[in-house]
Structure formats: structure tokens, C-alpha cells
């Protein structure tokens, strides 16, 4: 925790009043001291959005893609539009403030603010990442869990906020614990009508007959910044890529599977519901080399 660098934004959204008129766009803060008020709706209702950004050698990766998704998530929650210039500046500052470390992350949080004030709260912190070597080199086991929604939920029931990166991750964490209870490392959500969605904190990428396939992003899942860059890698390698509706049968028939996300990057999957899947460790290494050397 002492390695954590924190900045609290003075005016997270231009449409709302600053917290301190005339102050700088962010203030440095000590992570162990109190900054967030107990009546902040981000805490009391999980009413807010966030991003987690990989930081390599002090440099945030896929920053513009993360900022764009931060804005889209905020719009889905009808939050005042985040001032992306102020956020970019604060993210770069906390990353630069880290002690030199190969892998770290920056987390941005925008909440609806203290109840009754009508002014959002925003902060960003950076901290060193936990070691990801085991997941990347030995692989992970997943179990499939029902998410309880149809694959078209984003269109039929937008108030369920599927596809937005909200602070309400208690369900994702409960699914993760259920996966561990079943002897796996992570869960893969399935829609009630049988389509493969995403992991609890990651997207699925499959290798199928020499192509890379990922579930379509309009089915109530996050459009992953890492998945997009895995496809960039594939296209550079001449590997065809596709966004498709993926069934459990497609999953079983795939040649290799990965969960991909910021911080972890690409983790090969060795078992689905206890059934062994061939891992392509050579390809995994190439994907991770590409991801970890991203300069933008
Ligand atoms: N899906 C969910 C539910 C996530 O929480 C995340 C990341 O945290 C992702 C997908 C992957 O997104 P990204 O690659 O942008 O980190």
C-alpha cells in the first residue's frame, strides 16, 4: 500500500462544479488517509465506473482505449462526462510517481459523488502489480457459470448496465469465489440462451482452425482493450480474426483458449469444467511479448 501513488481530481467532469474552485486539476494524496466521504454513492451503492490500466516501465498501455471506454461507461450510467484531458494528466502523473517497477497498474474511479451534492468524485492511483508469471506460463482452469441474462440483454434491458465497467463488481467476485469452490481459477459467464460471454475480469479469445475468434462485443460484455490488441497482434501475424456468437460446443471444439485482460495479459486455459484443453504455450509467449511491449 505504501507503494501506491494517489491523485484526487478536483473537477472529474467539466459539467459539474470543481471541489475546490481555483485549485489545480488534481491533488496528491496519501493512500492510507481518508479522502472519500462515507456518503459517496460509489461506496454506498457501487454507483460509478472504473478502469484498470496496465503500466509497463512507468508507461500506461492502451491509454486512449481505456479513456474512451471510461467515457462510454460513464454515459451508460448517465454520469457527467469525464474530462478526459484532466484524467489523462492525472494518470500520467501517478504513473510517473511510481518507484521504478516493470509491471504496475493504474486504476481510475469516477463515482456519482456524495449523496445530495450532485458533483462526481474522481481519483486515480497506481501501484505495482502482483506477479502474473504462473497464470501466463502454466495456464488456468475455468468453469462455466450462468450469468442469468440473455445474450441480447444490452439491447432489451439497458438499465442492467451490462457492457459498462461499473463499480458493482460484487457479482463478478462472487462468481470468482464459486469458481474456486469448484476447483478452478476463474469463471466464464454463459448467457441463459447458451452463448459464451466473458470471464469475471477478462475476455475470451479462441484459436479455431488458424483463426482467432472472440465473442461479439454487443452481447452485454466489455469490449476489452487487451482483446483488441491481441487481434492487432494476430492481424500483424497474418492470422484472421473474427467477432462471433460462440456456443459451448464452439468452446469445446477450439484449438486453444485464452482469458485476456489488463494486468494479467494472456492466460492460456488448460481446463474447462475439468475437461483438458490443449494449450499453445508458444503462441501464448508471442502474444504476451507483443502485449507487454505495447508503446501506446
Ligand atoms: N471483461 C470484464 C468483466 C472485465 O472486468 C475486464 C477487465 O477488467 C475485461 C473484460 C477485460 O478488459 P481489458 O482487456 O480492457 O482489461
Distance from the alpha carbon of residue 91 to the mean position of ligand 1, in angstroms: 18
Q: What pLDDT does 1 receive? A: 45
CATH 3.90.180.10 fits 5-128, yes or no: no
What pLDDT score does 36 carry? 85
Q: Are 166 and 77 in contact (CB under 8 A)?
A: yes
CA atoms of 8 and 27, how far apart (whole Å): 5
Residue 175 pLDDT greater than 70, yes or no: yes
- Quote the ligand 1 centre to 20 CA distance (angstroms): 33
User: Of 195, 175, 204, 203, which Cα lies nearest the Cα of 187?
Assistant: 175
- pLDDT tens digits, residue range 72-94? 999 999 999 999 999 999 999 99
Q: Is 260 helix (H, G, I), strand (E, B) or coil?
A: strand
Residue 34 reports pLDDT greater than 80? no
Ligand 1 centroid to 14 CA: how many Å?
Answer: 27
Q: Where along the chain do its domains lie?
A: 5-128, 133-292
Prediction ipTM score? 0.99
State the Cα–Cα distance between residues 144 and 137, nearest whole angstrom: 22
This prediction has a pTM of 0.95
| Region label for 257, one of left (φ > 0), alpha (ψ between -120 and 50) or beta (otherwise) | beta
Domain over 133-292 is classified CATH 3.20.10.10? yes
pLDDT of 58: 96
Evaluate whether 5-128 and 133-292 have a shared fold: no
Q: Which residues line ligand 1 (CB under 6 A)?
A: 52, 198, 201-203, 222, 224-227, 261-262
Write the residue with the smallest CA distance to atom 9 of ligand 1: 202
Q: Whose alpha carbon is nearest atom 10 of ligand 1?
A: 202
Q: Which residue has the higher pLDDT, 41 or 34?
A: 41
| Grid coordinates belonging to 124 | 486515480
Amino acid at each position: 500500500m505504501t507503494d501506491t501513488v494517489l491523485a484526487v481530481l478536483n473537477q472529474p467532469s467539466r459539467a459539474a462544479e470543481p471541489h475546490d474552485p481555483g485549485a489545480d486539476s488534481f491533488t496528491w494524496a496519501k493512500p492510507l488517509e481518508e479522502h472519500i466521504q462515507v456518503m459517496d454513492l460509489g461506496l454506498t451503492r457501487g454507483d460509478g465506473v472504473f478502469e484498470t490500466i496496465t503500466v509497463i516501465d512507468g508507461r500506461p498501455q492502451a491509454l486512449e482505449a481505456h479513456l474512451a471506454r471510461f467515457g462510454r461507461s460513464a454515459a451508460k450510467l448517465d454520469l457527467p462526462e469525464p474530462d478526459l484531458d484532466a484524467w489523462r494528466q492525472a494518470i500520467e502523473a501517478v504513473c510517473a510517481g511510481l518507484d521504478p517497477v516493470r509491471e504496475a497498474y493504474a486504476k481510475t474511479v469516477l463515482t456519482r459523488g456524495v449523496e445530495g451534492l450532485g458533483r462526481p468524485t474522481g481519483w486515480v492511483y497506481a501501484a505495482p502489480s502482483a506477479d502474473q508469471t504462473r497464470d501466463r506460463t502454466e495456464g488456468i482452469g475455468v468453469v462455466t457459470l450462468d450469468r442469468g441474462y440473455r445474450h441480447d440483454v444490452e439491447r432489451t434491458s439497458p438499465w442492467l448496465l451490462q457492457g459498462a465497467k461499473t463499480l458493482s463488481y460484487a457479482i463478478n467476485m462472487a462468481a470468482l469465489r464459486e469458481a474456486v469452490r469448484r476447483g478452478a481459477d476463474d469463471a466464464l459467464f454463459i448467457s441463459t440462451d447458451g452463448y459464451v460471454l466473458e470471464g469475471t475480469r477478462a475476455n475470451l479469445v479462441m484459436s479455431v482452425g488458424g483463426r482467432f475468434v472472440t465473442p461479439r462485443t454487443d452481447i452485454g460484455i466489455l469490449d476489452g482493450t487487451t482483446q483488441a490488441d491481441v487481434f492487432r497482434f494476430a492481424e500483424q501475424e497474418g492470422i484472421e480474426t473474427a467477432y462471433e456468437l460462440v456456443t459451448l460446443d464452439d468452446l469445446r471444439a477450439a484449438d486453444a483458449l485464452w482469458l485476456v485482460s489488463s494486468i494479467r495479459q494472456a492466460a492460456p486455459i488448460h481446463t474447462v469444467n475439468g475437461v483438458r484443453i490443449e494449450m499453445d504455450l508458444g503462441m501464448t509467449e508471442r502474444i504476451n511479448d507483443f502485449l507487454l511491449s505495447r508503446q501506446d
